[in-house]
Structure 1
Amino acid sequence: MNRSPMNPTLLKPVVRIHHLSKSAFSSLQTLPESKTNQLLNPLYNFLPHTQNPSKIVDIICANLKERRTTLLEKDMIPHLGTQEVSRVLLRCQSDSFAALTFFNWVKNDLAFVPTIHNYCLMLHILAWSRKFPQTMTLLSELIELNRNKSGKASIFENLVLSTKDCSWEPVVFDMLLKAYLKAGLIRDGFVTFRKMIKLGFVPKIISINFLLDGLLKLNRINECWGIYEEMGKIGIRGNTFTFNILTHVICKSGDVDKVNRFLDKMEEEGFDPDIVTYNTLIDSYVRRNRLKDALYLYNIMCIRLVMPDLITHTSLINGLCKEGNVKEAHKLFHKMVQIGVIPDVYSYNTLICGYINKEMMQESRVLLHEMIKKGVTPNKFTCLVLIEGYKKKGMLISAVNLIVELQRFGISVSRDLQIDLVIALCQVDKPFAAKSLWERIETHKLEIYDELINSFCRCGYVNEAIQLKDEMFFKNMNPSLVTYRVIIECLCRLNRTMEGEVFMRDMVELGIQPDMTIFRSLISGYCREKNLNQAESLLIFFAEKFQVCDNECYNEVFKVFCEKGDVGKSMEFQKRMQKVGFTPNSLSFKYAIDALIAKSGMFYFYAWSVIHSTAIDRHSKGSFITDE
């Protein structure tokens, strides 16, 4: 951009903005207003020069010129205000070092925040002196200061207003645009661009490219094309980066058919599509499942001697794999290697995914070995897709072997991925493989213990489950109700009910109350083992300790008593149980009658007397026989 201060088209808008926005910079004024004019008194002239408030600007400028460290005496500082700061800066226009020294003194030593007008004067001085790094630093500082204010001032308009007071360079407006984009304020950058165009300032193509890229990332497609149209109106010629960004814009908008017209336009302006252009278009075609168009562009690249690179081939391999054509994808992979393009982890992952989607695990494993041999380290995604592929096919042991193999090569596998595999092994009842992998992870999650114990118990390996439960105690981890339940159920199934009861009593000592499942498992176990004394003892324990009188458990014990054929003992058991709160129901009487049927002799009389006496006894207590 060339400065043209006498250009009438620039001066007119400047005056108009001055009238409209005189108060636009008020929000940042934390520097005190000058008190010099209010205190101005002819008697000040009788004071020494260094103590005369009316000479404060002269004193500061003189000290700056002589490079003194003390710019002003302490008793004079209260007389320094916004007007004095501006006057000092204007006097130092030809000495940017002195101006910046004074500006930093006001900010840092006096702990004042200069006004936005003070900032703009300093920016013009630095830009005029071609101190561009300092200008950009100060612009970034002003933007950060302004963005945190409730009422944001317009930095652009205040820069324009300041041009009437000092020498200035139009490049400062282009730098403002860059500073906004650098700060991530794309919207403010776009507004600044529009204002620059309106006032006749021409941004540099580099700044425009940054703005286009920022708008593209925000998916502001219309604004991108608006900028491109403005470029044509004011005669800004785009470069290769511009066209590549706009190619992205076209692809993101979904109007891929517009590409050919845009490429023609690009060539009319003397720019040939480069590798970035082609890669952008090929990737867009692949994403929209237009693989034929992508392959056509690939051939055009070769005809025009634009060498396809790794990105080109990876995109096409991905497209072929998405269509399930893994063999063609692998051929293209080999072609890529033959022309000297070295595959990376992403290109290998793309092809491995293609094979896994086709459930061709052996081929994907071969590719894994190949990439390791070539010095390409598998990443987290490589491990994930391979392990998930084995899990999908139910080949969990192969997945474990893969992890062991990768670790031998020094390749770390995500702990979370290994934990998921341990749980999957437990769920398909492969507890020993799960435990082996779990010991390699060296994790002590309660969830894993529960899964392993559950799996061991389902498979009947209760001793291994008990060993894990004991390990939990050593690691200060309290087994849960679920842990105890599955161990007790397994012990009862294996006719080790006595040990199950020991575990149950351990639970009670730890403050964990057994649930009904544990209660019924223990009673069933004792009944299968014909250990009626222990069963009865347990019924009494639950009734007295937890006030649990479960008819299902009672009937199961009573049935065994009846099946033994000793009716007398059955009735005695029934009476003992009634004392602790158990009440027989219709099923209880059925078991009793079935037992009596098996007896000869006095059956009818005895059966009738048992039923009658029990009914009378319950009626006298106000209760009735029910089916519960």
Structure 2
Amino acid sequence: MNRSLVNEILLKSISQSAFKIHHLSKSTLSSLQTLPDSRTNSFLNPLYNFLPNTQNPSKIVDNICTNLKERRSTLLDKGMIPHLGNQEVSRVLLRCQSDSFAALTFFNWVRNGTGVVPTIRNYCLMLHILAWSHNLPQTMKLLSELIELNRNKSEKVSIFEILVLCTKECIWEPVVFDMLLKAYLKAGLVWDGFVTFRKMVKLGFVPKIVSINFLLDGLLKLDQIDECWGIYEEMRKIGVRANTITFNILTHVICKSGDVDKVNEFLDKMEEEGFDPDIVTYNTLIDSYVRNGRLKDGLYLYNIMYIRHVMPDLITHTSLINGLCREGNVREAHKLFHRMIQIGLYPDVFSYNTLICGYINKGMMQEARTLLHDMIREGVPPNEFTCLVLIEGYRKKNMLISAVNLIVELQKFGVSVCRDLQIDLVVALCRVDKPFAAKSLWERMVQDGKEAHKLEIYNELIVSFCISSYVNEAIQLKDEMFFKNIKPSLITYRTIIECLSRLNRTTEGEVFMRDMVEFGIQPDTTICRSLIAGHCKEKNLNQAESLLSFFAEEFQVCDNECYNELFKVLCEEGDIGKSMEFQNRMQKFGFTPNCLSFKYAIDGLSRRTACGDAFIDE
């Protein structure tokens, strides 16, 4: 934009709006532009004129400027620093406008060595000087610093408006406003950048297309769709010509808004502007069509690309393969996959994964496994997602052994399988009563140094072995835990004791119970019931009574179910006197007969009476 025109517009804007803003917000901005400083009032003292110039506070600006001009390292006598205020900082900067090096040297000295905190106005003057001298890297650095300072203030001010006000008294370049827009976007303050853009346009400044593209991209990520189109309209009004990047961003805007019907209209407008859609444009549109379930439109654009001599790339084909697989047309997807290879494109892991997922969703595990072999043969290493979808595919079809074989096969090829994925498979095998396969996979993990969640996995294996009545294998795992310094839990012992009791090895189960007590783990009611039930089933009645007393005395476990289990067996033997003696002994430990106990006693008496009557009849 012509500089004289900018000056003319700016002077009118300042007199009509910016100057008005200055007066309306004078009380607000004063603390940021010219902080009240009692030190400046001392300059009125006429006695200072009798001091040497280097010690006269009235000459502080002159002294600093002289020392800056002569490139002296000491800018001011230490005794004069308390008399330096923000007004003096501004005056020095204005005196050094033509020497940006001197101005920046002074500004850094103020910030780092005087205790004076520069105001927003001080910063803006320095920014104008740097921009005018074309020191753009330093300008951007200082802008970023100023934005952070303003962000942390309780009462934020408009940096843009203060920059405008400063143009009345210093040299300046319009580029500083464009850089302010970039700095806001760099700091992640997209909305502040948008407000700055609007103010720039209103005052006649024309942002560069690069800055506008950054702003459009930021607004797109915030889903500010309407604002994106508003900026595009403003661009046309102020004469900023869009480029390919602009149109590609706006293509994303169209796709994100979901209004894919506007695509053809937008492409026509793009061509009217003199730009041909490139590969990014087509890929964005095709991906949007696929995600919105409009695969036919995506395939139509795919064919248009060839007509317009835009060669589809890997992303194009992967998007369409994904769309075909989502519609269940995995055979056509595989044909497109082969066509991609025929035109010289090499599938990557994402392309393979997309097609593998398509086959798995159709339950075609053999075809998916073949693709896995193909990718390994072609030197494309499977990633964690590849392993995940294949193993999940086998799990859905209840082919867990095949999943284990797949892991073994992958490891032979040098493919690392995620530890958590293997642990999940170990647990899944345990819960479908395949403990030996689970143990085999777990042992392979241990050999590879992947022993995470050890106690939980051992418990899962022990439970699975015990459910399948392989208690010896479960005991072996428990012993292995001791060897590896893994403390068994209540679940570990309870599972083994229940299994031993169920397999008529209750005495061994009791040994385990006493072992766990010595190990500091208190048995619970479930263990008590299992052992009492086991002894009763094996007719070890004395051991059962002894154990019942032990639980009551040692752990205060007085479980009526355990009591009734033993009382029932005694009653069934028909010796009522023995049953009553047992009842009296147990009452001393806190056991109280209930209605079920009396039922067992009555049943026992009935059987005895029936047996007696039968004997008399004979």
Distance change >3 Å, CA 549–CA 90, structure 1 → 2: closer
Corresponding residue SS for 1:600: helix
Pairing 1:82–2:94 present: no
Question: Which residue is 1:10 aligned to?
Answer: 10
* Whole-Å separation in 1 of the counterparts to 2:6 and 2:251: 39
Paired position in structure 1 for 2:604: 592
1:486 aligns with 2:495: yes
The residue type equivalent to 2:251 in the other structure is T
The answer to whether residue 137 in structure 2 is matched with residue 94 in structure 1 is no
Which of 46, 49, 58 is residue 62 of structure 2 equivalent to?
A: 58
- TM-aligned CA distance change 1:425 to 1:27, over 3 Å: farther
Q: Which residue in the other structure is 1:610 paired with?
A: none
Give the letter aligned to residue 554 of structure 1. Answer: Y
Contact 1:25–1:115 (8 Å) recurs in 2:
no
Distance in 1, Cα, partners of 2:32 & 2:406: 63
Cα 1:25–1:5, aligned 2, differ >3 Å: closer, same or farther?
Answer: farther
Quote the residue 1:332 is aligned against. 336
Q: Distance in 1 between matches of 2:423 and 2:484?
A: 19
Separation (CA, whole Å) in 1 of partners of 2:34 and 2:482: 65
The 2-side partners of 1:174 and 1:2 are apart by 15
1:456 aligns with 2:475: no
* Structure 1 position 562, deviation (Å): 4.2
Question: Aligned AA for 1:323?
Answer: E
Q: Cα gap change, 1:601/1:334 in structure 2, threshold over 3 Å: closer, same or farther?
A: closer
Query: Which deviates more from structure 2 when the two are superposed, residues 483-492 or residues 445-454?
Result: 445-454
Partner amino acid, structure 2, of 1:489: E
Unaligned runs of 5+ in 2: none
Among 541, 545, 565, the alignment partner of 1:536 is 545
- 1:146 counterpart = 2:150: yes
Q: How many residues align?
A: 604
Contact persistence 1:34–1:80 (CA under 8 A): no
User: In 1, are the aligned partners of 2:39 and 2:83 still within 8 Å (CA)?
Assistant: yes
Helix, strand or coil: the match of 2:602? helix
The secondary structure found in structure 2 opposite 1:93 is coil
> What pairs up with 1:136-175 in 2 under 5 angstroms?
136-175=140-179
Separation in 2, partners of 1:446, 1:103: 64
Contact 2:576 2:605 in 1 (8 A): no
State the match for 1:309 in structure 2.
313
SS of the residue 1:599 aligns to = helix
| Alignment partner, residue 230 of structure 1 | 234
CA gap 1:6/1:243 in 2 versus in 1, 3 angstroms = closer
Task: Specify whether residues 409 and 18 from structure 1 end up closer, same or farther in structure 2 by C-alpha distance, changes over 3 A only.
Answer: farther
Match of 1:243 in 2: 247
What is the CA deviation profile of residues 244-288 of structure 1, one whole-angstrom value per residue up to 9, with x for unaligned ones? 111111111111111111111111111111111111110110001
SS in 1 for 2:3: coil
2:319 is equivalent to residue 319 of structure 1 = no
2:212 counterpart SS class:
helix
Q: Which residue of 2 aligns with 1:555?
A: 564
Residues 30 and 112 in structure 1, CA contact (< 8 A), matched pair in contact too: no
The farther-off stretch of 589-598 and 343-352 is: 589-598
| Aligned mates of 1:502, 1:213 — CA distance in 2 | 72
CA distance in 1, matches of 2:517, 2:71: 86
For normalisation by structure 1, the TM-score amounts to 0.92
Separation in 1, partners of 2:240, 2:38: 46
Choose from 201, 221, 228 the match for 2:225: 221
Counterpart residue number, 2:272? 268
Q: Which digits, 9 at most, give the CA deviation of each residue in 1:215-256, with x for residues without a partner?
A: 001000000111111111112111111111111111111111
- 8 Å Cα contact 2:394-2:403 kept in structure 1: yes
Query: What SS does structure 2 have at the residue aligned with 1:180?
Result: helix
Deviates more, 1:168-177 or 1:427-436: 427-436
Cα distance, 1:574 vs structure 2 = 4.1
- Partners of 2:195 and 2:428 in 1: CA distance: 56
In structure 2, do the counterparts of structure 1 residues 388 and 274 end up closer, same or farther at CA, with 3 Å as the change threshold?
same
Shift of the 570–100 alpha-carbon distance from structure 1 to 2, 3 Å rule, reads: same
After superposition, what is the alpha-carbon deviation per residue over 1:526-563, rounded to whole angstroms, capped at 9, x for unaligned? Answer: 12211111112112223333444444333333343344
Q: Separation in 2 of the partners of 1:518 and 1:69?
A: 87
Shift of 1:98: 0.7
Distance (Å, rounded) in 1 between the aligned partners of 2:31 and 2:605: 98
Q: Shift in Å at residue 136 of structure 1?
A: 0.7
Write out per-residue CA displacement over residues 456-476 of structure 1, whole angstroms, 9 at most, x where no aligned residue: 111112222223323434444
**Structure 2 CA distance for aligned equivalents of residues 601 and 517 of structure 1:** 41
2:396 maps to: 392
| Contact 1:28-1:116 at 8 Å conserved across structures | yes
Task: Describe the shift of the 1:333–1:34 C-alpha distance in structure 2 as closer, same or farther (beyond 3 A).
Answer: farther
Distance change in 2, residues 1:44/1:572 (3 Å): closer
Match of 1:443 among 426, 435, 452: 452
**1:9, distance to aligned residue in structure 2 (A):** 2.4
Q: 1:118 — aligned with what? A: 122
Q: Within 2, Cα distance between the matches of 1:111 and 1:325?
A: 72
Q: Is the alpha carbon distance of 1:573 and 1:66 closer, same or farther for their aligned partners in structure 2, counting shifts above 3 Å?
A: same
Residues 111 and 466 of structure 1: CA distance in aligned 2, closer, same or farther (over 3 Å): farther
Question: Structure 1: how far apart are the matches of 2:10 and 2:33?
Answer: 28
Structure 2 equivalent of residue 468 of structure 1: 477
Amino acid at match of 1:531: N
Question: Relative to structure 1, is the Cα distance of residues 202 and 6 closer, same or farther in structure 2, using a 3 angstrom cutoff?
Answer: closer
- Aligned pair partner of 1:290 in 289, 294, 319: 294
Q: Report if aligned partners of 1:481, 1:514 keep a CA contact under 8 Å in 2.
A: yes
Q: Distance in 2 between matches of 1:447 and 1:94?
A: 75
Structure 1 range deviating more: 511-520 or 88-97: 511-520
Measured on the aligned residues, the alpha-carbon RMSD in Å equals 2.1
Q: CA deviation at 1:404?
A: 2.2
Task: Give the deviation of 1:518 after TM superposition.
Answer: 1.4
* Number of the residue aligned with 2:376: 372
Task: Find out whether 1:68 has 2:72 as its counterpart.
Answer: yes
- Relative distance call for 1:600 and 1:257 in structure 2 (3 A) is same
- Say if 1:65 and 1:488 are closer, same or farther in 2 by CA, change over 3 A: same
Which whole-Å CA distance do the structure 1 matches of 2:57 and 2:458 have between them? 82
How many Å separate the matches in 1 of 2:38 and 2:344? 72
Equivalent pair of 1:17/1:157 in contact (CA under 8 Å): yes
**Residue 190 of structure 1, CA deviation:** 0.3
Check the 8 A contact 2:574/2:605 in 1, yes or no.
no
Aligned with residue 425 of structure 1, among 419, 429, 433: 429
Question: 5 Å matches for 1:18-57?
Answer: 18-21=19-22, 22-23=25-26, 25-26=29-30, 28=32, 33=37, 35-57=39-61
Partner of 1:545: 554
Give, in angstroms, the shift of residue 196 of structure 1: 0.4
Q: Percent identity?
A: 79
Higher relative contact order (CA 8 A, sep 6+): 1
8 A Cα contact 2:549 2:589, kept in partner: yes
Secondary structure, in 3 states, of the residue corresponding to 1:460? Answer: coil
8 Å CA contact 1:559, 1:591 repeated in 2: no
Letter of the 1:242 partner, please give it.
Answer: T
The code of the aligned residue for 1:211 comes to L
2:504 is matched with: 495
Aligned residue type for 2:18: I
Counterpart code for 2:14: V
Question: Do the aligned partners of residues 404 and 115 (structure 1) sit closer, same or farther apart at CA in structure 2, a change above 3 Å counting?
Answer: same
Alpha carbons 1:27, 1:151 under 8 Å: kept: no
3-state SS of paired residue (1:383): helix
SS at 1:35 equivalent? helix
Which range moves more in the overlay, 579-588 or 530-539?
579-588
TM-score between both structures, scaled by the size of structure 2: 0.93
CA distance in 1 between partners of 2:304 and 2:62 (Å): 72
List alignment gaps of at least 5 residues for structure 1.
605-628
Query: Does structure 1 conserve the Cα–Cα contact (< 8 Å) formed by 2:571 and 2:604?
Result: yes
